[in-house]
Structures are given as structure tokens and as C-alpha cells.
Amino acid sequence: MTTSTPATAKLFDALSSTAVRDVSELREIYEQPGANASRKQVDHVNDVARQLIACCPLVFVATAGADGRCDVSPRGGPAGLVAALDEHTLAIPDATGNRRLDSLHNIVETGRIGLIFVIPGREATLRVNGRACVSTDGELLRQLTAVGKPPRSAIVVRVEEVYGHCPKAFLRSSAWKPENWPAPDAAPSSARITLSHLRDASLTVEMIEQDEQDSLLHRYE
């Protein structure tokens, strides 16, 4: 459920009224990309990209539903979580989560996906865009045991675009430098965020923390 107030709607409307309206206007703000930035996009998973994907334990999955609502979800597991079946096909096993199935719903509706592959300690990332479907093919699922056992389903990606991102975002954020990480109590915990969203006076942070720990114990069930 989403909530909005007249004040927040008014703020967005005010900013939207002066927003960029077309690509030509956008291009007046920025220079053209360099030649290499345009040329390094390819339409398949080559040997180097396959090696990177095989080392990757974390991938961010972006999808959009038929109503235009977008979703980005992290998927993690052992290195090689995502299988490269051939140079045009990837398979992502579904692991037990909160069972909302937001990503899977969107894929069933629109058949599109975007991926960002992240390797801890490495600043460079790999972006993959393409078509997608949700498969329950038994032979395929038996090959995808990175989550501990064959999954109930897998996201199969027909690769259309593969692009290696430069490391600027991770360098600027110091994401892999522990000395620059915020103190543990500087940001709300997962349990505090959940409690603030649920707005249920019968719940406590400790209760939600226990529920989170229980769910991690049974994450492969």
C-alpha cells in the first residue's frame, strides 16, 4: 500500500511541471557519451562476462509490471548463483523469500528484466537487460542447486544487452572500505524499518528481530 498527502503531491507536481520533457532537451544538459561508452555494449554473454557472472554472489533484479510500477530486488547466494546456459541465456534460481513474488509477477506480466551483477570488493559491475520468463522445467531446475536444492521456479533471461559499468559509483561511495562505513547504530535496522511500516502497537523490535532470525534459519525451506 502507498500513501500520499496533499503536501507531498503538491511538491511532486511543482517539480514535475518544470521537468525535462524530451530526449533532445536532456541532451542539451549533457555532453555526448564517449566512443567506448557506446561501443562496449554487446548483445551476448562473452567468455569474460561469463567468468564475472560465475564469480558473482549477488545480483539486483529490476522488473516492471503491466501497470508501470517498478521493482528492484536483491538476490544472493554462493558465487555462480546465476547460471549462464549459453551466450544468450541466463537462469536465476528462485530462493525462498517473503513469498510476495513481486519480481515473478512482473515478469509474467511484461516479460522484461534488468540485472546488475555485483562482486564484493570489486568496483566494476555488469549490467544485463533482456526478455525474461518464469520456468518450472524440471530438467532446468535440477541444474540450479546454488540455493541448496532445486528451486520451485527459475527466471530465464534471453540476453539482449550486456554492459560493463565503470567503477565510479563504488569508488565515490567507498562501499568496500569498512573504515568509511556508518556506525552500526547510525541507520535504522531492518527490524526497526519493518516495525515503522507495520504500525502495529502489539509488536516490538525484539519480536521482529526474532522473526527475522527464525526466517534465516529456514531460508531454504
Q: For the purposes of burial, counting CB atoms within 10 Å of the CB of 128, is it exposed (0-12), middle (13-18) or buried (19 or more)? A: buried
If asked whether residues 163 and 186 sit together in one domain, one would say no
What Rg do the C-alpha atoms of the chain give, in angstroms? Answer: 20
**Stretch 135-144: mean pLDDT:** 95
CATH number of the domain that residue 167 is part of: 2.30.110.10
Q: Which domain holds residue 125?
A: 38-172
Work out the average pLDDT over 143-155: 89
Give the pLDDT score at 220. Answer: 47
Domain assignment present for 26? no
Domains held by the chain: number: 2
Residue 20 lies in a domain: no
Q: What is the pLDDT of residue 219?
A: 55
Mean pLDDT of 191-202: 89
Indicate whether 104 and 206 sit together in one domain: no
pLDDT in tens, 5-51: 677 789 999 999 999 999 999 999 999 888 888 888 999 999 999 99
User: What pLDDT is stored for residue 209 in this prediction?
Assistant: 83
In this prediction the pTM is 0.86
3-state secondary structure 74-120: EEECCCCCCEEEECCEEEEECCCCCCCCHHHHHHHHHCEEEEEEECC
Give kind and range of the element (H or E) at residue 43: none
pLDDT digits (tens, 9 = 90+) for 161-193: 999 988 999 999 999 999 999 998 898 888 888
Is residue 186 located within the same domain as residue 134?
A: no
Residue 81 and residue 31: Cα distance in Å, rounded?
38
The answer to whether position 22 is within a domain reads no
- 135 and 212 belong to one structural domain: no
In a domain, 95, yes or no: yes
Q: Tell me what pLDDT residue 4 has.
A: 61
Does residue 18 lie in a domain region? no
More confident residue, 38 or 82: 82
Residue 109 carries which side chain, given as an amino acid letter?
E
| Same domain membership, residue 93 and residue 44 | yes
Is 57 part of a structural domain of the chain? Answer: yes
**Between these two residues, 143 and 213, which has the higher pLDDT value?**
143
pLDDT tens readout for residues 58-69: 999 999 999 999
- Across the chain, mean pLDDT equals 91
pLDDT at 218: 60
State whether 168 and 69 are in the same domain. yes
- In terms of domains, do 55 and 161 share one? yes
Structure confidence at residue 166 (pLDDT) = 86
- Please tell me whether residues 103 and 206 are part of one structural domain: no
| Residue at 28 is within a domain | no
Q: Indicate whether 85 belongs to any domain.
A: yes
